[in-house]
Structure 1
């Protein structure tokens, strides 16, 4: 299955995605130009009101990947999978090691600080914040190039202990 190419009219408003063959012909004839590489988007260089349909964006977010799909009526216009960063905690641990090394070096006196240990309300670990922000960024990218986009997010909660032992109680 081929993904379709996102199209924006001359005024910057999103139109319905077109087939890759149509996009190639528009680019070769000079009637369109490439705007973005991810997701691949072209902008028409001639006036066009365009035909718009209701489009549905489906998002299935997981721990390692985000599944994205764009559908219209009975057609799949776009589908893809985005890999999430898995190295955020490791990078923060490395930064913490270097910071502690600087503090423990035999340098000038530094008074101890103990009043900065409370976490603000609604705090999330940086690794989780990174994954949430990645989801939000991809949803914004797709909504910017789709007309009349409706968003559907699949949320699933799993109890791994219950999956291994079905007779377990909380």
Structure 2
């Protein structure tokens, strides 16, 4: 369970049993239901010792997995995980339908419409709407997790287009939270075909 201090700053996650005891004793209140986040009423982050957690991203063409875990002595223990369902196919179909409707409308015998074909340049770093949706969805959820937990590093597995052997745990890319934990989405150097708006959550171990 995610835990915040009395000022809303993230603390180390706790076990569900401990969360129930904190709520029963009145030391904590419910800050958010999905995912479940507690806010302590009598503790600040400055008075606590934080060990920190890490976030892992496993991108895919249709789904993206996110996991919050701790690593102690070479062993990773999962704290929270969720799966993002992409809408890339729906976005592509809607854009195709819109283009067809516009093409029919422009071919009708209506008032004169000046041709516009030389002002359709794309800005630098442009991404297709379906890919932009995936990137923004993943970035949004990673940003939320950093608000609910003391994230110290973000890891990303290999791209879905790479062969399976290169997507093992030894090939994870890492970014430190102290600097930019992810590439700039407007620079065009995006290697994350991932993201979504719907999420299915689960709790378990991270088997890496």
Measure, in 2, the Cα distance between the counterparts of 1:102 and 1:29.
Answer: 66
Measure, in 2, the Cα distance between the counterparts of 1:124 and 1:66.
Answer: 18
The match for 2:104 among 90, 97, 101 is: 101
Residues 6-21 of structure 1 correspond to what in structure 2 (within 5 A)? 6-21=2-17
Deviation at 1:7, TM superposition (A): 0.8
Partner of 1:63: 61
Secondary structure at the aligned position of 2:98 is classed as helix
Long gaps (5+) in structure 1: 161-170
Measure, in 2, the Cα distance between the counterparts of 1:42 and 1:107.
Answer: 61
Pairing 1:34–2:37 present: no
Contact 2:12-2:52 at 8 Å conserved across structures = no
Change (3 A) 1:78 1:91: same
Secondary structure at the aligned position of 1:43 is classed as strand
Which stretches of structure 1, 4 residues or longer, exceed 6 Å deviation after superposition?
A: none
Residues 153-168 of structure 1 correspond to what in structure 2 (within 5 A)? 153-156=156-159, 157-158=161-162
The match for 2:135 among 132, 135, 139 is: 132
TM normalised by structure 1 equals 0.78
Secondary structure at the aligned position of 1:62 is classed as coil
Deviation at 1:38, TM superposition (A): 4.2
Partner of 1:164: none
The match for 2:48 among 47, 50, 53 is: 50
Deviation at 1:148, TM superposition (A): 4.3
Deviation at 1:26, TM superposition (A): 3.1
Measure, in 2, the Cα distance between the counterparts of 1:12 and 1:69.
Answer: 22
Residues 111-126 of structure 1 correspond to what in structure 2 (within 5 A)? 111-126=114-129
Secondary structure at the aligned position of 2:12 is classed as strand
Contact 2:10-2:147 at 8 Å conserved across structures = yes
Tell me how many residue pairs correspond in the alignment.
Answer: 156
Measure, in 2, the Cα distance between the counterparts of 1:63 and 1:70.
Answer: 21
Deviation digits for residues 41-72 of structure 1, max 9, x if unmatched? 22222334333103221111111111112222
Deviation digits for residues 18-53 of structure 1, max 9, x if unmatched? 112222343455443333344332222233433310
Q: CA RMSD in A?
A: 2.3
Change (3 A) 1:35 1:85: farther
Measure, in 2, the Cα distance between the counterparts of 1:109 and 1:29.
Answer: 74
